Structure 1
């Protein structure tokens, strides 16, 4: 009986040892698996966080570039509006100057036409006076010259009297 009991004891001991080994092995595997999972998760999360930081930096950089470009664009648009206003003002000034110059040209042309007609009239009068030159006619010629002088002065021109 002793042998049977020893055998039974051995079997129980074997069971207990097996159970203990299985439990220890299971704990070891669980711990290693847990550590491995934790390490993998930490690595994955660190990579994910790094990628998110890179994306944030890139987003920040691009956003600043967009803001800078928008500001520059608005400044250029404002300068363009100012330039267009200045050009419009310059155009109006040039148009006014052209209108004034045309008016002056018209006035000068009228004066020239009037001068031409006055000169023709004057020379006709002189031709008549020369045909009838006497002392009395010299007075008449002097009157004509004074009349011519008045015509010339009305045009804003001075008569040159030869010596």
Structure 2
């Protein structure tokens, strides 16, 4: 999208006058060579690795760009701390709107790649107790659940429409 809407041209103009144009040139290369998804995969692979290790070497090397850094789980968790806080607030809001407490919940099914993140697991364990947490295939279960919803006679009842 950035190549076709004029953003790339603006970035190139900005790079000509920047005090430190190298990072902009790298970003331009990422856009120009359509490397966004490859960069996303490298970041995602690092996130997955940090779910089971305390320290990971991040590396992205393509088209003359070479980005590398050691990333620790503590650093990663500090970067996502606001997201974890919002996730907790959303869980609390869902419980309150349902008129139940965490003790009323028998099982919590964690799914999706983010459910592997230790900070996410801690959040749910603190709210509901570790014994109530369960999961299955974190990646296929979402698609399976969506397929089941799509197969119901009234899939719209599964959507959330906020009152105006």
Bigger Rg, which one: 1
Higher helix share: 1
Shorter chain as denominator, the TM-score bin is under 0.3
Higher strand share: 2
Q: TM-score, normalised by structure 1?
A: 0.22
